Structure 1
């Protein structure tokens, strides 16, 4: 495919692919993108779990547990641990996501043994000092309180709670639930979460397959056998209509969404294109033109696919003055219905496909991003062939393909959580 810029023909685009090697060691299957031009190695790994296994009333447990892993381990206090990582130029961290528990590091190649030592020490001998627990809890409580003080945080919380009232996806940490977490609960959660089985691992950079096998043995061989319990499957979201959360503020935040395709659906790429045209980021989407440019009702509006628990949900957000909430909600639903009924134009499809195809290589510009993105693909159930075939699948899409996928957009299924002092609903 050749392009033009200011009337000048550009050379044909080169094909894009990621050279993924798949290997196995000790029951761990790993993806590797080998690149030796710079002496940098990035590794990311994950188990199923995270917030999905927070007990009711103790939401935030696994997030706090992940944060505590880098707050001192073995004979290293929190300061000594941080100094050791900083002195070697190592970026090491853990996180408790909604449906996963993750670790990662990036390091210069000569410091790889030290990165492995610190990561292994964090996973096998975390100190969990009471002083560290108090610091981590204070940060988490502050974040939870801030989320409860803004229309955006309140609307987001209400949306997920209303969409999944009986599932962990609908529960969010509160100051009270975080305060209820004990040191003993953290240790129990970590023991159950970090096992030798159930690991997804990806690596990128200055390491070869034999080196990665050595890394896997060094990193995980001393963990307890077995795998974490599987996370509960995600049902379709409830259609809850409109939910209001009153909050004194000059503007309201609208958080909206509907069910989406399963990641295995053959219309996945076509649906992404339709959603990009309707509500994608930037200033080119239909809803941006209608609501922002033509009427000046918001600074920005966007929606995309949120993938969690093996399913996808369409979620979006927009802020507007309280007095114009009703008008924005009407315009949003009208745009949603028009896309489903009429589909896109040929030009819209061409531009959206060009953006998605052109932005794909930019997502693999450094080792940390590459390892993280590959891990996300693995968590979504993808394989290397899926990624390799994505440019061709996008290029093959027609207007009719995207119009068919766009019919999955259902204005009647849209649910809205709005926080502020909205008028006109």
Structure 2
């Protein structure tokens, strides 16, 4: 080693020692008590508080709850109706100086009639222009106020939302702009052309996505002539001819005040909430709620295959399930949690992935809507083992419907739901979403409490009976998308499959 390098490494070592010593002093010094937030008073010291200790408090787990549900926010839901007929649900939440507003309309793609995509385009065009403002001015108007506008359209519903600070200086101009957007959209022609082009480009991408193709075919098979059959985004043929006149007519009827549910959560008192609801309701077109959807007819079961070049095959198995107000909803939610809705540890995941290595993931679920939504099982697997995987899933489903869950599976699922359920009201955004669903599907205001009580009181036999009542393994509509290849037998179940899943699913 040269003299120059020796000096260099000596200085480097000295610097390291100094840094280590400084770090040790920093770690061992007492930490200052944090000052309370300006909006919160400092908590009172508990009686007979013990002396401070340098030992950290031990971590706790859900096991310490001894089967009891963890605490969550208790919601005091207030409800009324505006002069124009909109239903309002309000929760006062003073923790943050802001509010969340969500309007839910029976204006989803199930209302498209003969123009699939009409509901989606109408919703997407709301914030593209109002009298005196184009899309850029609208976006900048919300941004300058620190407010956030949101919108979306689905099969059952269309939504618009506003998040804003609750101080009058920000609240009032944000609400004024929001009222214009939902009540006075101008539907500019250049924006409509742009959005149509974006949608049409999306259709081209869908052609390369076997999972999307399978989903489209499944709903077509499952619902036939029912309004749920066509995709929410419309089709290549239906989007181009939709006109501005159609958008205006749809907005006038489907975005009427009588067809709306107004959900409001935040730093507001009842009088302020009533004033906001009245302002928003008055800004909407006048009109009644749209009539309820007809119930779909059960389709013929059977398999449809979509030929697609790929290493994997997508499998979708479905049948008509329940609507959102079905009294068996709690039992079916718990039963599905055990079958395939809870991720790892479910019957389908254990048998198909963990014991046989056939897939990266397999899931099942009920999607209740205003009319009967689907019960569905979805999986991707190796193309050469798709037939065996399908047969295995059908057998697992039949066995589960026949025998039901074990008591241990039921108890574990109850604990999991009890542990995750508080997340449904963890934030104001979560709460306003819950209120929107409660109002839209006309559920009782005590729905959240009722659901957990029902779940915790269910027996093995009640869950088995509900699942067997609503799911028939002989009635499944099945769609596969993948290549036609020679099939191989499935490996036997084992704790360590010889062949692992292919990895992240394709598409």
Report the TM-score, using the length of structure 2 for normalisation.
0.78
Counterpart of 1:35?
93
State the 1:390 CA deviation.
1.9
Moved more, 299-308 or 110-119: 110-119
Structure-2 change in CA distance of 1:311 and 1:381 (3 Å): farther
The aligned residue for residue 157 of structure 1 is 216
- The answer to whether the 8 Å contact 1:25/1:216 transfers is yes
1:317 matches 2:378:
yes
- Whole-Å separation in 2 of the counterparts to 1:9 and 1:167: 47
Asked if the contact 1:34/1:206 (under 8 Å) is kept, the reply is yes
Give the distance between the partners of 2:64 and 2:185, measured in 1 at CA. Answer: 60
SS at match of 2:128: coil
Within a 5 Å distance, the mapping from 1:10-409 to structure 2 comes to: 13-14=69-70, 16=72, 17-26=74-83, 27-56=85-114, 58-110=115-167, 111-172=170-231, 173-408=234-469, 409=471
Measured after TM superposition, the shift of residue 146 of structure 1 is: 2.2
CA distance in 2, matches of 1:44, 1:367: 11
Is the contact between residue 18 and residue 388 of structure 1 (CA under 8 Å) also seen in structure 2? Answer: no
Q: 1:418 aligns with which of 464, 469, 480?
A: 480
Task: Could you tell me which runs of 5 or more consecutive residues in structure 1 were left unpaired when the two chains were aligned.
Answer: none
Report if the CA contact (8 A) 1:52-1:231 is conserved. Answer: no
Shift, 1:45, TM fit:
1.4
**Deviation readout 1:56-80 (Å, 9 max, x if unpaired):** 3x31111011111111211111111
Cα deviation, 1:260-283, whole Å, max 9, x if unaligned, reads: 244444332112111111111311
Whole-Å separation in 2 of the counterparts to 1:6 and 1:199: 40
Q: Please tell me whether the aligned partners of residues 49 and 228 of structure 1 are also in contact (alpha carbons under 8 angstroms).
A: no
Choose 360-369 or 330-339, whichever is displaced more.
Answer: 360-369
Q: What stretches of structure 1 move > 6 A for 4+ residues in a row?
A: 6-11
Distance in 1 (alpha carbons) for counterparts of 2:180 and 2:196 = 22
Q: 1:115 & 1:9 partners in 2: Cα distance?
A: 44
Deviation of 1:93 after TM superposition, in Å, equals 2.3
Structure 2 residues without counterparts, runs of 5 or longer: 1-59, 489-507
CA contact (8 A) 2:260 2:289 kept: no
Q: Give the drift of 1:37.
A: 0.9
The structural deviation recorded for 1:228 is 4.6
User: What secondary structure does 1:384 align onto?
Assistant: coil
Q: Is the 8 A contact 1:101 1:193 kept in 2?
A: no
**How far apart, in 1, do the equivalents of 2:165 and 2:89 lie?**
19
User: C-alpha separation between the residues in 1 aligned to 2:325 and 2:65?
Assistant: 38
Q: CA deviation at 1:248?
A: 1.8
Aligned residue-pair number: 421
Secondary structure class of the residue paired with 1:69: helix
Instruction: Give the distance between the partners of 1:103 and 1:8, measured in 2 at CA.
Output: 41
Larger Rg: 2
CA shift, 1:422, in A, is 4.7
RMSD value, Cα: 2.2
Distance in 2 of aligned mates of 1:217 and 1:96: 24
The Cα of 1:34 is off from its aligned counterpart by: 1.0
